[in-house]
Amino acid sequence: MHPTPTRTPILIEITGSGETAPWWGVPAIAGAFLILGAVLGFWFNRLQDERKATRERSYQWDQNLLSRSSTMITLVRQLNSAAYDHETWTRTYTELAVDQMQRGEPVDPLPVAKPTLSTLSDTFSAFNEEFTTIQLIAPLAVRNAATETYHYATFLMEAQGRQAVEKAARELARSSEELEKAVRAHFGIQ
């Protein structure tokens, strides 16, 4: 069937019937939504990845701090034990030499306390490494507590005689407890 002739056929052909969209409209709108969806998808994925990476870095940082501070506290106990062992060895051999002198026997030079001195020295070296690392990674409160612990550890290394070693060991143990409290406070552990 042919359309009915009208007086203005040109106007109908120019404007169209009004029922269909222009040929370029649907692909342009679909393409715009496609591009918008791709951009939004990329942006949201990037935000999520950045948050995840930040969370993982924070977790690793906290684990490193916890590990290093735990090791430092353990080394304090080992350092105290090694200092007592070395002081006991030194005192025993000194008493032996004094006893030999009192009996009029020739005094042999004291052998160097290699095992106890070596253990004490190695423990302090390991302690020093952990302290240095904590100074780099820890927050201020933990660093301050670690510094106090380090100072008492150096006092212990310089202590001469039973009473001086005992006093330095007590102070070192007390400062180690303060370090533990500072680490617990940092992590919110009661």
Indicate the domain borders of the chain. Answer: 45-187
User: Tokens at residue 77, please?
Assistant: 């106990």
pLDDT at 89: 82
User: Tokens at residue 152, please?
Assistant: 């008492």
Number of neighbouring beta carbons within 10 Å of residue 86: 20
**Closest Cα to residue 173, out of 149, 155, 190, 154?**
149
Q: pTM of this prediction?
A: 0.68
Angle at 180 between CA 63 and CA 156, to 5 degrees: 115
List, for the chain, all residue ranges whose pLDDT scores fall below the cut of 50.
Answer: 12
pLDDT at 53: 85
**CATH code of the domain occupying 45-187:** 1.20.120
User: Tokens at residue 108, please?
Assistant: 């042999």
pLDDT at 26: 77
**Closest Cα to residue 133, out of 182, 61, 82?**
61
pLDDT at 153: 94
pLDDT at 90: 82
CA distances 182 to 25, 79, 142, 149, 152, Å, are 66, 21, 5, 12, 17
The pLDDT tens digits of the residues spanning 147-172 come to 999 999 999 998 888 899 899 999 99
pLDDT at 5: 64
pLDDT at 172: 94
Q: Are 116 and 85 in contact (CB under 8 A)?
A: yes
